[in-house]
Amino acid sequence: MYHVKQLSDSKYKIYELQDAATNSWVKVAPERGGIIFSYGVEGEELIYLNEETFYDRDKNVRGGIPILFPISGQLSNGTYEWDGTTYSMNNHGFARNATWEVIDSEMEDRASLTIKLTSNEQTKISYPFDFEVLFTYVLKKGKLTIHQEYMNMGDMPMPIYAGFHPYFKTSEKHLSYETDATRYFDYNDNEEKEFKGSVDLGNLKEAVVLLNGTQPNITFNLPTLKRRVRINYSEPFKYVMLWAETAKEFICVEPWMAKTDEFNRKEELTMIKGNESLKTEISIQLEPYIV
């Protein structure tokens, strides 16, 4: 019932996790930032992908489920200071453009693929820490779970604020979200506002972030696909970013560990002690559509 297959592609090695019972799949490109670029349930694709950006290594992928590590969002002037030294880092960190190594797969009672990213001379130019990151993508009964382990291989505490950036297919941008958050910050006018259950992303250039939710999940309808999506996430994901592009048929619903530019504020950093690790997970699954 479960399979993990390597597919032929013109540019990348592609791995597909398959769940025959639910006609579901997850497609992963380890060489392209370890990205999930396709996720379908009951024969229907849920994820938006701009293929031009996917196949152009000089561009950031617009679509899929990019991995945000070691930071989520932007840094002021693209830089941050740590222990007296100034470092430069691109938006959302370097993991989404790195080559990940496949280290394991399973097909018994589930389909799973484990990939690894390890620090090297290139990563230390922007992030002076020894690390190893493991992601295990699991597909079971149509549900996608992403298990993460962030390992500090050095002696000193290592800061991170990782996140995810899923692009969901939809032509409608004014959606309702089921969450216990009551406030959000609007990066379009830099104002904090009351959250009343929905935000019209259709004409917003910048994202908004849900601020004070305590329940570790968010659900929303995808009217175009007649699907309802639930995202569950574990500690230390505290925030959910909402973002869209006016002319593109997607919305992004993104669990983050901290708000953008946290490496400069240093107020909510997740610190991993020397020679220790942090394990977290998020999951995406479908629920009955609510009219």
> For residues 37 and 29, is the Cβ–Cβ distance under 8 A?
yes
> For residues 209 and 177, is the Cβ–Cβ distance under 8 A?
no
Summarize pLDDT for 71-114 with one digit per residue, the tens.
999 999 999 999 999 999 999 999 999 999 999 999 999 999 99
As a whole number, mean pLDDT of residues 220-233 equals 94
**Per-chain mean pLDDT for the chain:** 97
Give the domain ranges of the chain.
Answer: 2-287
How far apart, in Å, do the first and last CA atoms of the chain sit?
32
pLDDT band at 18 (very low <50, low <70, confident <90, very high): very high
pLDDT at 291 over 90: no
pLDDT band at 282 (very low <50, low <70, confident <90, very high): very high
Taking CA atoms, 5 is separated from 13, 26, 81, 135, 272, in Å, by: 10, 11, 43, 18, 34
Summarize pLDDT for 116-171 with one digit per residue, the tens.
999 999 999 999 999 999 999 999 999 999 999 999 999 999 999 999 999 999 99
**Which architecture does CATH list for 2-287?**
Distorted Sandwich (2.70)
Between CA 233 and CA 283 the distance in angstroms is 7
Single out the residue of 146, 161, 176, 119 nearest to residue 64, CA to CA: 146
